[in-house]
Structure 1
Amino acid sequence: MDLNRTPAQISRAMAEEARALNHRTLKADAFDNAPSVADTADGIAAVIQRLPQAIQQLEAGLQALADDNQIRLADRHPREVSAKDVHDAVFDVLWNLKEAREGLGRLNEHVRAATRRLSNMGGPWPEQDTDED
């Protein structure tokens, strides 16, 4: 685990890996058997399970910056921005991040239900030789 990267660099790498997975699995024959689907789903489930904490930490980071008056709105000249404008923008972001966390909780439940079923799936039984000697 390389913690010498910035959070933004780490999140971009995570996004690039998701993109690579999407490209690699464009065709259904990317999976050799049901266990390879299950292994891939387990990895995706692990990401989904970790995302709520990452989002909660985004919330905490933004709130700390807001508490220290370290946020400006870039769409207007500073003279046109009130403290209430900044507060409202921060509140909107925090509310949406909270909603996203809650949505990820529901997503996690469904993906976990799928991985539980997938973990019981295997490939076809090897064909048995029917010739008796």
Structure 2
Amino acid sequence: MDLNRSPYAIAGAAAEEVRALNHRTFDGAGYNRPSQVGDVAGALSALASQLPQALRQAAGGFEALVDTGRVQMYDAQGETVAERAGQVYAQLDAAAAAADALSEALKMVQNLTADIGLRDSA
């Protein structure tokens, strides 16, 4: 784990790995048995389950920057930094809740595929 990278670089690398998964499994390629779908769902559930913490920490980082009093808006059009910050926090909270729901749904897929296999060819 390379913690010397920026938060953006780390998040970007995670996104790139999901992109690779999408390319690797295009049209269902790469899955040789039903349990592999469950395995991938389980791994993606683990990924999704870590997103709420990352999002909370992003909110904390944003809040710390706002609290310095140095944050400004380039095209405010009457909106204050505090108002915009409130919107940012609300959307990060919504994203965290969506990630929790995604993680739970993917866990269910993993459980549902656990006892599904392939029949020997006839």
**TM-score band, normalised by the shorter chain?**
0.7 to 0.9
Give the deviation of 1:127 after TM superposition. 6.0
TM-score normalised over the length of structure 1: 0.81
Amino acid corresponding to residue 110 of structure 1 in structure 2: A
Partners of 1:75 and 1:121 lie apart in 2 by 55
Partners of 2:69 and 2:19 lie apart in 1 by 36
SS in 2 for 1:72: coil
Contact 2:38 2:113 in 1 (8 A): yes
Contact 1:35 1:123 in 2 (8 A): no
Aligned to 2:34: 34
Partners of 1:119 and 1:74 lie apart in 2 by 52
1:55 and 2:45 aligned: no
Partners of 1:127 and 1:17 lie apart in 2 by 34
Give the deviation of 1:15 after TM superposition. 0.8
TM-score normalised over the length of structure 2: 0.88
Aligned to 1:107: 102
Which consecutive aligned stretches of 4+ in structure 1 deviate over 4 angstroms post-superposition?
A: none
Aligned length: 122
Aligned to 1:96: 91
Amino acid corresponding to residue 32 of structure 1 in structure 2: N
Give the deviation of 1:48 after TM superposition. 0.6
1:44-89 C-alpha deviation (Å, 9 max, x unpaired): 111111111111111111111111123221336xxx87xx611111
SS in 1 for 2:74: coil
Higher alpha-carbon Rg:
1
Partners of 1:29 and 1:4 lie apart in 2 by 35
Distance 1:14 1:70, change over 3 A: farther
1:3 and 2:3 aligned: yes
Give the unaligned 5+ runs of structure 1.
Answer: 129-133
